[in-house]
A and B are shown apart, each in its own frame.
Chain A
Amino acid sequence: MGESLPRVPRGSQHPSNTLSRPVQTLRVKMVLLGSSGVGKSSLALRFGKDQFKSSSPTVGCAYLTQVVHLNDVTLRFEIWDTAGQEKYHSVTPLYYRGAHAALLVYDISKKETFIRAQVWLKELERHYVPGSTVIWLVGNKGDLTEDRQVSAQEAQSLANEKGLSFTETSALSGDQVTELLQALAHRVYECIGAQQGGLSEWREPSLVTLHHKDTSNPLASCCKVGP
């Protein structure tokens, strides 16, 4: 997905990076959790394409990738954008299992989505060793200030109490979205990247064929995401 942006295209970081500075690419599994309609898919679309489009509820789970460059490392985010609808809850563990980063997204104009985010937090805490997952509380739809039902202070104190990071974003305006991903990348790399067996290195599944593909069809490298 993001591979189609002016960032380094997928499958070609080795050739495109200057040979003098080979950069390691690490895989980061990230999951977006939260009630239906809080804007998880919209955030994901911002991460990848810096666009905003009205979307329909996600079916099951959407998978996309996004490369983020830090000074001495490249992180390849494998983003699992889960569906918030209750009927999919029973499958959600499939998607958050083994995640290095989890975004708990709520809608600042809907109190109940904030409560729901806390339910997700409890569920994550039940399954995870502290420190193995970076959990980020995200108050989306920051643009809806008139309808605000969750104050930033309230969310911030929850974050402090639970040791989470917290950001308010707007997928609509794009406010704080790129910043969030950058901050998250740093955080993940600091907390997990250094750990023994923290992040695994990413290798192109079949480098040769993909190179061939990249040259033969420029479109093929961005096949992961539509308009």
Chain B
Amino acid sequence: MERDNHQEGEAQGVKICDPPSESNPAADTLATSLSLLGNHMFPDSVERNERLGVNREVPADSLLSDVTAEESSLDAETPSNQIMKPETECQDNVSTQPAADRGTEDSAIDNDQSNSEEFVVTMLAKAKLEEQGLGVKGRSSPLLEAGNQESPAFMSHRDEDVTADSWRAHRKHVFVLSEAGKPIYSRYGSEEALSSTMGVMMALVSFVQSGDNIIRSVYSEEHTVVFLQKGPLVLVCVSSSRQSEQQLRAELLYVYYQIISMLTQASISRIFEHKKNYDLRRLLAGSEKILDGLLNMVDSDPSFLLAAVHCLPLASSLRDSLSQILQKAITPNLVFSILIAKNQLLTIVQEKTVIEDTRLEPTDIHLLLNLIGASSAFQAGEIWTPICLPLFNPDCYFYAYISYLDPPECTVCLLLLSTDKEAFYAVADCKRKIEEAMVAQNSLSLIAKAQSYSVSQVGVSDLRHFMYKPFDVPDNYRQLTQFTSPEMEAPYSSEEEKMRLLDLYRYMHSRIHSTSRPLKLIYHVAERETLLAWVTSKFELYTCFSPLVTKACAITAITKLLRWIKKEEDRLFIRYPPKYSTTPNPSKSSRGGKSDQQDSTDNGFLSLL
């Protein structure tokens, strides 16, 4: 089924965005680095003498990039060969472009690396040896002077043996390293144990950089390796998940933003300007859990794929009354009040002036939600922490107040964001007011009854699941990008089946958003279900039907579904995010939003490092 489809479309190659360069000797090194990396991560390929191709995203007119050896040439010629072409698929699509049939020949040329072979093998053996020495040690860190050391109790995947097959078998590896090649984060296994692998990756990156190229991705039969450089950080994803390069890169970007949310972009640049080989783990020690949590959410929560926020369905009268409660409990420099239940948004109220020209991006909310999940606010009572919202402003901190309103269950969480680090007591007082008002209105028990809905409520037979993301319409374009989706129910109850459905969605999403050949409508008959994805100027929709549905049925079903969503809109979405004004002088809130924002930045935001 799906898997095979993907396999067929698998491309092998390195894509490089470049002005073409002509550096033949260096290209040898590239080939070497590549195979080294390949062997290192996927040792089986050594035996099979697997071919790794080099693929550059070349401007159409510049023909063959001369990255040496034949291995590169064919892929470079046919950049469209990443397009996957599932067999069992009929396309009602608008795109008339024929699927570029990636021939078999592009993988036909053997990687003739007899010259480098010996070198690779020795290097590899060496790297392996080093790792064996370090393998299971975890993070004994010679680097931490004053003993700022992580407790073993906090370790999760950190102590995994990186030489074991199980380590290689992980579906998606994520690594973060500094430009100087210092390991910063690895999703599985400790960064130290992996330092040689990271070194290889960095060699690869810096080699390509030296030629003014930016390395973007490497494909092998089983894996996609995607690189993302952001400032002084290099992020690498090694995935066997069959996701598109674009999707994987978007996920790496989330990782980057989560790091920024803890340290700010400004301080990261400052640190590395100061000291090129700074060990950022000092500052990120203990944050692995936050990054691990993020990556798990990225894998299991479609919010990230859709770059949209999922809110808990709620009677609009209740949502409005909650918003009003938040609107009334304000204090100077408070900019966002967010109420969350069961990890979903209930409502969000924002300050008028600060937000005049900007809107809160879903990404920032995702990062906040992940932070809340990682914080121990449920034990601690009240949390007061600096946090940066990278898309709002990557260089400044907000101060977040986090507290649960319904102990001991701890499902309803209040998040108040202030620009004033000294405002804790004032903000905590807002919480007290909110709490009182919620008691008076019996809000907590009403919220407790709220829950996600079942697809059966839509009343369309054969429809198993869907995700609907409306686009901003002009009259409320400041609205937060949201999507709605029912609970995943049988047959998608088990974790494996959920993941399988999500993978199907990810596949549909990659087709819809393909850079080379975007589609508007896809009807995809998979083995155990039929999917239909449809994007218009008003919405993006992914639906999953039982396998027996006919195309005509599916179309009718979707019409019904859209009608149902329209009817339920007020309950499914936060329709008009309310605002308040905490600035003493409301005249400030007149248009020139940017400068106002600057003002409040000056007295409120404080860069910390």
Within 8 A of B (CB), among A42-58: 44-45, 53-58
Taking a contact as CB atoms under 8 Å apart, the answer to whether B374 and A59 are in contact is yes
Name the residue in A38, A113, A220 with the highest tally of chain B Cβ atoms < 10 Å from its Cβ: A220
The reply to whether the CB of A227 lies closer than 8 angstroms to some CB of chain B is yes
Which one of B400-408, B470-478, B550-558 contacts A? B400-408
Q: Is the CB of B407 within 8 A of A216?
A: no
Are A87 and B283 in contact, CB atoms less than 8 angstroms apart? yes
Whether the pair A205, B383 counts as a contact (CB closer than 8 A) is no
- Residue from B144, B371, B421 within 8 A of A59 (CB atoms): B371
Query: Which A1-38 residues sit within 8 Å CB-CB of chain B?
Result: 1, 35-38
- Beta-carbon contacts under 8 Å, B341-374 to A: 371, 374
**CB <8 Å contact, A86 and B285:** yes
The yes or no answer to B253 lying at the interface (CB within 8 A) is: no
Complex alpha-carbon distance, A124 and B148, angstroms: 18
Stretch of B1-9, B149-157, B200-208, B538-546 at the chain-chain interface: B149-157
Does B164 touch A at the CB level, under 8 Å? no
Q: How many A-B residue pairs have CB under 8 A?
A: 168
Which one, B289, B383, B386, contacts A57 given CB within 8 A? B289
Q: Is B282 within 8 A of A60, CB to CB?
A: no
A contact patch SS: mixed
B408: which of A41, A111, A209, A227 is its contact (CB, 8 Å)?
A227
> With A44-B380, A112-B147, A116-B146 as given contacts, are A63 and B407 in contact (CB-CB < 8 Å)?
no
Cα(A16)–Cα(B425), bound, Å: 26
Given contact pairs A56-B154, A85-B148, a sample of 11 additional A-B residue pairs in the complex whose CB atoms are under 8 Å apart: A37-B149, A61-B385, A84-B148, A90-B609, A115-B147, A213-B436, A220-B436, A220-B439, A223-B407, A224-B381, A226-B380
How far does the alpha carbon of A17 sit from the alpha carbon of B432 in the complex, in Å? 24
Chain A residue with the shortest CB-CB distance to B146:
A116
**A81 CB within 8 Å of chain B:** yes
Instruction: State whether A110 and B149 are in contact (beta carbons under 8 Å apart), knowing that A41-B376, A87-B284 are contacts in the complex.
Output: yes
Q: Which residues of A contact B214 (CB under 8 A)?
A: none
> Is A222 interfacial (CB-CB < 8 Å)?
yes
A60, A88, A112: the one contacting B146 at CB < 8 Å is A112
Say yes or no for B435: interface residue by CB 8 A criterion.
yes
Complex alpha-carbon distance, A86 and B380, angstroms: 20
Of A62, A90, A112, A116, which one neighbours B380 at CB under 8 angstroms? Answer: A62
Determine the residue in chain B with the shortest Cβ distance to A219.
Answer: B407
Q: A60-B400, A86-B283, A119-B146 are in contact. Are A37 and B151 (CB under 8 A)?
A: yes
Q: Is the CB of A64 within 8 A of B383?
A: no
With most chain A CB atoms within 10 A of its CB, the pick from B147, B376, B378, B429 is B147
| B289 & A56 in contact (Cβ 8 Å cutoff) | yes
* Residue of B262, B287, B406, B407 with most partner-chain A CB within 10 A: B407
Q: Does residue A199 face the partner (Cβ distance < 8 Å to B)?
A: no
A227 touching B379, Cβ below 8 Å = yes
Q: Is the CB of B286 within 8 A of A225?
A: no
B contact residues around A219 at 8 Å (CB)? 406-407
A217 within 8 A of B: yes
Residue among A54, A115, A205, A224 with the highest chain B CB neighbour number at 10 A: A224
Per the bound structure, the CA–CA distance linking A59 and B287 in Å amounts to 9
Min CB gap B249→A, angstroms:
26
Q: How many Å lie between the Cα of A53 and that of B382 in the bound state? A: 17
Contact with B along A191-227 (1 / 0, CB 8 A): 0000000000000011001001100110110111111
Q: How many residues of A contact B (CB 8 A)?
A: 55
Q: Is B410 an interface residue (CB 8 A)?
A: yes
CB atoms of B287 and A85 under 8 A apart = yes
Interface assignment of A73: CB less than 8 Å from any CB of chain B: no
Find chain B residues with CB under 8 A from A107 CB: 151
Number of interface residues of B (CB under 8 A): 54
Of chain A, the residue at the smallest CB distance from B431 is: A223
Q: Which residue of B lies closest to A90 (CB)?
A: B608
- Residue of A whose beta carbon sits closest to that of B608: A90
Does B263 interact with chain A (Cβ within 8 Å)? yes
A-B contact pairs, 27 of them (CB 8 A): A36-B151, A36-B154, A37-B154, A37-B286, A41-B380, A56-B376, A59-B377, A59-B383, A59-B385, A59-B402, A60-B400, A63-B383, A86-B148, A87-B287, A90-B608, A90-B609, A112-B148, A115-B146, A116-B148, A206-B432, A216-B439, A219-B406, A220-B435, A225-B407, A226-B404, A226-B410, A227-B379
Chain A residues contacting B286 (CB-CB under 8 Å) are: 36-37, 57, 83-85, 87
Once A36-B150, A116-B146 are accepted as A-B contacts, the answer to whether A223 and B380 lie under 8 Å apart by CB is no
Contact B144–A112 (Cβ < 8 Å): yes
Contact A224 B382, CB 8 Å, known A56-B289, A56-B376: yes
Give the docked Cα–Cα distance between A184 and B494 (Å).
Answer: 52
Known A-B contacts A36-B285, A58-B376, A60-B386; A1 and B149 likewise in contact (beta carbons under 8 Å): no
Chain B contacts of A113 at CB under 8 A? 147, 149
B383 touching A62, Cβ below 8 Å: yes
Closest chain B CB from A53 CB (angstroms):
7
Given A56-B154, A59-B376, A63-B424, CB of A213 within 8 Å of CB of B381 = no
* A94 contacts partner chain B, Cβ-Cβ < 8 Å: yes
Contact B436 A62 (CB under 8 A): no
**Once the chains bind, are A41 and B379 in contact (CB under 8 Å)?**
yes
* Per-residue contact bits, chain B 386-398, to A (CB 8 Å; 1 contact, 0 not): 1100000000000
CB distance from B269 to the nearest CB of A (A): 15
